[in-house]
Structure 1
Amino acid sequence: MAGLNREFALPGTRPKFARDRVVDVEHIALRLDLDPVAKLLRGTAHLDCAVLAPDTRWVVLDAVELTVGAVRVGDAAAPFAHDGLLLRIDLGGKRPAGERIAIEVDYEGRPRRGLYFVGPDEGYPDKPLQAWTQGQDEDSRHWFPCFDQPHEKATSEVTVTVPHGWFALSNGELIEDEAIGDRRRLHYKLDIPHSCYLVTLAAGELATLEHRWRDVLVTYHVARGLEAQAQRTLERTPRMLEVFSEKFGVDYPYSRYAQVFVADFIFGGMENTTATTLTDVVLLDERAALDHDVDSLVAHELAHQWFGDLVTCRDWGEGWLNEGFATYSEYVWREAYEGRDAADLELEDWAETYMGEDGGRYRRTIATKLYDEPIDIFDHHLYDKGGRVLHMLRYELGDDAFWGSLRHYLTKHRHGSVETRDLARAVEEATGRVLDWFFSQWVIDGDGHPELKVAFTWDPDTRLATATIEQTHKVEGKTPRFRLPTRLRFRVDGQDVDVPVEVVDERHAFHVPLDAEPTQAIFDPGRVMLAHVDTDKSQALWIGELEAATLAVDRIHA
C-alpha cells in the first residue's frame, strides 16, 4: 500500500532548518491605517530587539512587496536596502551582544498575501466589506516587517485605524478604543510572547457577543445580522475551555478568547493567539444545526491555544506538534461530549484520509526537513496521522501517564518552541518511559504504517486460542518492521478477557489459554493502532463481534 506515485519533495530539495538570528525580537508594536476601498495598508512597525551575535552591524527582516519609506534605529535615520523580499538595515556600527536596540520601519502596501481586503462584487453584491490577515505559515512578512520564523517569539501590540462603524480585532486585551474624526482607532496589547505568524487583524462591520468562562472574556464576532448563527455555532466554546483545561492540566493560558467569522477566508480556521479566525461558511442556521455541528473545527482551533500558540513547533518540519495535537483534541472533545463510540468514528475518518494520501500520492515521515514550501507539510500525514499517533501514545502510556506527560510538556516549554525530541523527553521525565523507539518509527525516522494479516483459531482439546499475526508490508526505504504493542480481546462466558501482546517480528503466534471457547476474538480492540488489518476467523466469531462487541467501532467493522 505504499504511496509510490511520487516523492513528497522534489528531487534536489534541500533540507529546511531554522534560520540564524543576530537579534532577538522581544516586542513588536504595529501602528496601522486601513483603507479598505483603496485596499491600502499604511503602517509603522516598531521592533524592540536584543543583540545576540557579537559585533552585529546589520539586521535583516522579511518584508515582501512592501514599500519602505523610512527606517530608524533608535531616534536616528538608518540606511537600508530592500529588494522586495528582505529588508537589510544598517545599525550604524558594530553592536555588542546584549545591547538593546529599537528599530522602526515606515511602510505601505497593497498586499497580495498575508492581509486580504474583501467586499461586494458582481457575483456577490451582499458580501461584507472586511479586512483580515492570515500569517501561517510565512505570510506575516507580507503585511509587516518581521523575522518570520515560528521559533521567534515576541510580545505584541497592534494599533489600527479603521473606518467609522467598523470594529477591529487583534491579539490580547483591547486597551484603547476611540473615535478619531470620522474614523476609529483600536489598540490591542498581548504581554505574552508568540510567533509572528500568529499576529492577527480582522476588521469590518462586526457585531460582538460576550460571554465569560471563569475569569476569561469569551467573545464571538460576526457580520451584523448573523449574531444568532454565531451563537449557535460557537455555543459550546466555554465547555470546551473547561474540558481542555482539565485534560491538558494547564488552564487556558490567556485572559481572553475571541472567535471572528470573516468572508472568503482561505482556510476553515486559524488559531491566532487569543483570537481565532473562522470562515463564515460554517455558520449554522437553525435547520443546519439539526443535522450537524462544527465542533471539530471549533475544538481544533481552540486546542491550538495550548499546542501551537503557548508551545510552538520550532520549525515547520515539526509542524505535527501543532497540528497533530489540535487534531487529536477534536477526539478529546468528542469523547468528553458524546462518548468514546462517537469519538472513535473520527479516528476512522483520519485513517481513511491519511491512507488515501499515503497510497495514492506519496509517503513521508511526519517530521521532515525535506519539503519544497512550508505549506506542503500541512497534509493528511501531519494532521490525521499525527492525531492517530497521539492516540496510540495515549494507549501505550495509559491515561494518567499520558495526561501527566502533556501537563509536564506544556509547563516545561511554556512560551517556547519545541521539536519531537522535546515531547519524547517530557514523556520520559514525567513517567520514566523511554519511548525513543515509538517516536522513531512513527514520527522521525519511519514512514508508512503496518499491514497485517491476523488469524484466530481455537483448539478445544488444549483450550488454547491462537492468534497468528504477520507483518506483510515491504520493509523498504523508511518503512520499518514495526514494534506493535497491542491487545487481544476474547469474550469468554460473557466477559471480555484482554491479553497484552507485542508484535516485533515478521510473524508471531500467540497461544492464549482460556476457560471456554470464546464467542469473540478481536485484534486491537477499538482499532487504536494505525494499520491496515486483514483478519481471518470463524463466522461465529464475526457474528459474536457484530452482535455484542463492547466498542461500537469493533461492531461496525465486523
Structure 2
Amino acid sequence: MHTISRFVFTVVFFVTLPMHKKLNLLLFVLLFAVAPTLAQQPGAPVDVQHYRFALTLNDADNVIKGRATITVKFLKASTKLELDLYKKNTEGKGMVVTAVTENSRSLKFTQDSNKFVVDTKTAQGSIHNYTITYQGVPADGLIISTNQYGHRTFFGDNWATRAHYWLPCVDNPADKASVEFLVTAPLKYKVVGNGLKVLEKTLPHNKKLTHWSETAQLPTKVMVIGVAGFAVDNSGNPDGIPVYTYVFPEDKEAGFKSYAVAKKILPWFVKRIGAFPYKKLANVQSKTVFGGMENAGAIFYYEKSVNGREIETLMAHEIAHQWFGDAVSEKSWWHVWLSEGFATYMTNLYMEGTYGADTLKSRLAADRKAIFNFEKKYMAPVVDSIFKGPMINMLNDNAYQKGGWVLHMLRRKIGDTAFWKGITAYYKQYNGSNANTEDLRVVMENASSTDLKQFFNQWLREAGHPRLKITWDYNTADKTVAFHINQLQEKPYQFTLECLVDGKLYKTEVKNNAATFIVPVASATAIIKVDPNVNLLAEFDTGGN
C-alpha cells in the first residue's frame, strides 16, 4: 500500500509513514475520528463463506443502495448473527438496514453505531444464507469523489477495517470469503472489481449492470470496486494471466505506457514464489486515501502515479502483496509485517534481480536509516502485541522497513536456496487462509533445517537494534588485525558480522557483549570495511580507527 502526504499524527506519538502508505493528512484525520482501535477488533464465531453485493450507484447524490447476500457457517450454536456495518450518524452518513431475510422469511434485527445484529437460531456447523437490504451515504470505505479532471468516481478503499462503512461483513482479516459485485451504474461508467467480469449488460434508463466474481478467498480489506470513465488496455498475458490497465482517458497515453511495467514484474514473482493467486491483474488509476492499495487482482494507485518516477517500485510492492497480504493474510493486525514487510523486501529483491546487487544495498541502507529514525520516536517490537491504538499507526517503519530487513537477514542466515524454498512453501501452505509470525518461523525452520526461535524472537519480538563500537589494531609480529566488537545496548544480540579486509570477506559470529576476532593482513595499511554488503541491521561506530 502507498500514500500521498508524508506524516501522520496521533495524540500518542508521531509516525513517519513509509513511501508505500503515506496518507493524505486531511483524510487521515477523518479516518482517525471513526476508525476502531486494534483492541476493539473481536474474533467472530462465524465463518463467512461467500459475499454477493448488489449495489446501485447514481450521479444525483451519494446514496448507494445495496442488497447483500451472505453465506455464513456458524462455528458454534447461536441465536444471533453479528456483522460489522456503520450505522447512519448525525451528519446523515452511514448505512440503514431496511430488511433482512433468510429463504424469503423476514428476520428481526438491530443496529448500533458499528454493529448489525440479526435474530437467528442456528446450530453449530450449520450454513445459512442471509439477504440484507440497505442504503445510505458511505461515511468512508467507498470514496465517492471527483478526480483531478473534475469527473465523478467511486472507489472502494477498505484497509484496514473500513469495508463495513459500505458493506455488511465480518470486517476482520482472519475471516476470508469469496465475493461477487453486481454494480448497476450510469451507462457512461466502466466498472472494475475483484476476479473476472462475468457480465456487462445495458439496462433501460441509460444504466448498465456489471458483474465481477472472485472465487478465491479474500479478506474484506482487499474486496473492492472501481467505477469511473476509464480507458482500458490489455498490456499482455504473462504466464497466461491477463494484465489490464485502467486509467482516466486524459492519461491514456502516459498510463498505458507506464503501467505496462506490470507485465514484467508479475512473471518475476511467479517464477520465484508460485502461481499468481488470481485470474487477472488490473492496475487502476484511482482517487482514494492511499497512494497504492493491493486490492486482490485490482490494485488501485494514486492519480498522479501514471507519471510517477517510482512507478516500477510502487507496482512491484503492490503486486508482491497479491501473494503476501491478499492470498496469505495475517491472522491479526499485530502481524501486519507479514504483509508489509514481505512486500517491502520482495520489492527490494525484484530491484536486485532487475538492476543488480548495488541497488539492493542502497535500498537496504536507506531502509536501515529510516528504521533508526523511527525508533527515536516510537520504540516497539515489530510484532507489537501490546499496541492498543488506531490501526493506521501499525503502518510504520517497523512493519515495512524493519520487517523487510528481518527477511533480508533471514535470507543471509539460511542461504538463498533454503530462503526461497521456505517462501514458496509458506505461500503454498497458507494460500487462501491466514498465518502469523510463528507459522512463518515453523515453515522456514523446516525449509532450512535450522532452529530459528532465537532469531525470530530477537528481531521481531524485541524492540531496538544492535549498536556496535568496533575498533581494530595491527599486530606487526604475525601480520594480523584484531577486531574488537562491543555491543553498547543493554541486551546483547546474536548476529553474523562481516568485514572486508583488503578485498577479502571475513565473517564472525557474535553472541556476547564483547567479542574479538583476528584475520591475517598483508600490511598495517589494510583497507577495512565493516558490513560491506549491508547485511546487518545495526549502528556502527568505527570512529576510533
Give TM-score, length-normalised by structure 1.
Answer: 0.87
Name the CA shift for 1:6/1:38 in 2 (closer, same or farther; >3 Å).
closer
Q: Confirm or deny that 1:524 pairs with 2:531.
A: yes
Does the Cα contact within 8 Å between 1:74 and 1:101 map onto a contact in 2? no
Partner of 1:508: 515
Find the partner of 2:78 among 49, 56, 59.
56
Distance in structure 2 (CA, Å) of the matches to 1:486 and 1:36? 62
| Superposed displacement of residue 255, structure 1 | 1.4
Residue aligned with 2:67, SS = strand
Partner of 1:451: 467
Partner of 1:415: 432
Q: Confirm or deny that 1:86 pairs with 2:152.
A: no
Partner of 2:478: 462
Distance in structure 2 (CA, Å) of the matches to 1:36 and 1:468? 71
Name the CA shift for 1:6/1:272 in 2 (closer, same or farther; >3 Å).
closer
Task: Report Cα offsets for 1:193-233 as digits up to 9, x if no partner.
Answer: 11011100110100101021121110010111311211232
Does the Cα contact within 8 Å between 1:194 and 1:309 map onto a contact in 2? yes
| Superposed displacement of residue 376, structure 1 | 1.2
Distance in structure 2 (CA, Å) of the matches to 1:14 and 1:195? 18
Name the CA shift for 1:438/1:272 in 2 (closer, same or farther; >3 Å).
same
Name the CA shift for 1:347/1:114 in 2 (closer, same or farther; >3 Å).
same
Find the partner of 1:270 among 270, 285, 293.
293
| Superposed displacement of residue 6, structure 1 | 6.8
Does the Cα contact within 8 Å between 1:169 and 1:203 map onto a contact in 2? yes
Does the Cα contact within 8 Å between 1:318 and 1:367 map onto a contact in 2? yes
| Superposed displacement of residue 162, structure 1 | 1.2
Give TM-score, length-normalised by structure 2.
Answer: 0.89
Distance in structure 2 (CA, Å) of the matches to 1:76 and 1:202? 33
Matched residue type, 2:108: P
Partner of 2:201: 178
Distance in structure 2 (CA, Å) of the matches to 1:317 and 1:535? 36
Q: Confirm or deny that 1:257 pairs with 2:281.
A: yes
Matched residue type, 1:527: V
Matched residue type, 2:114: L
Q: Confirm or deny that 1:205 pairs with 2:234.
A: no
Q: Confirm or deny that 1:104 pairs with 2:131.
A: yes
Aligned counterparts, 1:531-542, within 5 A: 531-536=538-543
Partner of 1:547: none
Matched residue type, 1:71: V
Aligned counterparts, 1:326-475, within 5 A: 326-359=343-376, 361-369=377-385, 370-444=387-461, 446-473=462-489, 475=490
Task: Report Cα offsets for 1:227-256 as digits up to 9, x if no partner.
Answer: 1211232222111111111222x1212210
Matched residue type, 1:81: T
Aligned counterparts, 1:245-324, within 5 A: 245-248=270-273, 250-263=274-287, 265-284=288-307, 292-324=309-341
Task: Report Cα offsets for 1:156-189 as digits up to 9, x if no partner.
Answer: 1110011111001110000000101211110011
Partner of 1:488: 499
Distance in structure 2 (CA, Å) of the matches to 1:156 and 1:127? 31
Distance in structure 2 (CA, Å) of the matches to 1:175 and 1:429? 41
Residue aligned with 1:336, SS = helix
Distance in structure 2 (CA, Å) of the matches to 1:177 and 1:431? 49
Q: Which runs of 5+ in 1 are unaligned?
A: 539-558
Q: Which runs of 5+ in 2 are unaligned?
A: 1-10, 16-35, 88-94
Distance in structure 1 (CA, Å) of the matches to 2:467 and 2:140? 42
Distance in structure 1 (CA, Å) of the matches to 2:310 and 2:14? 34
Aligned counterparts, 1:141-160, within 5 A: 141-160=164-183
| Superposed displacement of residue 460, structure 1 | 2.3
Partner of 2:101: 72
Matched residue type, 1:46: T
Q: Please identify, of 202-211 and 17-26, the stretch whose mean Cα deviation from structure 2 is larger.
A: 17-26
Residue aligned with 2:512, SS = coil
Does the Cα contact within 8 Å between 1:18 and 1:315 map onto a contact in 2? no
Does the Cα contact within 8 Å between 2:190 and 2:230 map onto a contact in 1? yes
Distance in structure 2 (CA, Å) of the matches to 1:103 and 1:389? 44
Partner of 1:33: 56
Task: Report Cα offsets for 1:444-498 as digits up to 9, x if no partner.
Answer: 2x1011111111222121122111111112x2xxxx421112322222xxxx322
Q: Confirm or deny that 1:133 pairs with 2:156.
A: yes
| Superposed displacement of residue 153, structure 1 | 0.4
Distance in structure 2 (CA, Å) of the matches to 1:16 and 1:514? 57
Residue aligned with 2:130, SS = strand
Task: Report Cα offsets for 1:535-557 as digits up to 9, x if no partner.
Answer: 1465xxxxxxxxxxxxxxxxxxx
Does the Cα contact within 8 Å between 1:209 and 1:227 map onto a contact in 2? no
Once superposed, which parts of structure 1, at least 4 consecutive aligned residues long, lie more than 3 Å away? 5-9, 13-18, 513-519
Aligned residues: 505
| Superposed displacement of residue 378, structure 1 | 0.5
Partner of 2:31: none
Work out the percentage of aligned pairs sharing the same amino acid. Answer: 25
Distance in structure 2 (CA, Å) of the matches to 1:314 and 1:105? 27
Matched residue type, 1:463: K
Residue aligned with 1:283, SS = helix
Does the Cα contact within 8 Å between 2:37 and 2:390 map onto a contact in 1? no
Find the partner of 2:212 among 157, 165, 188.
188
Does the Cα contact within 8 Å between 1:115 and 1:132 map onto a contact in 2? yes
Aligned counterparts, 1:161-176, within 5 A: 161-176=184-199
Q: Please identify, of 265-274 and 368-377, the stretch whose mean Cα deviation from structure 2 is larger.
A: 368-377
Distance in structure 1 (CA, Å) of the matches to 2:544 and 2:473? 7
Find the partner of 1:223 among 243, 248, 256.
248
Distance in structure 2 (CA, Å) of the matches to 1:296 and 1:398? 25
Does the Cα contact within 8 Å between 1:28 and 1:46 map onto a contact in 2? yes
Matched residue type, 1:73: E
Partner of 2:27: none
Residue aligned with 1:103, SS = strand
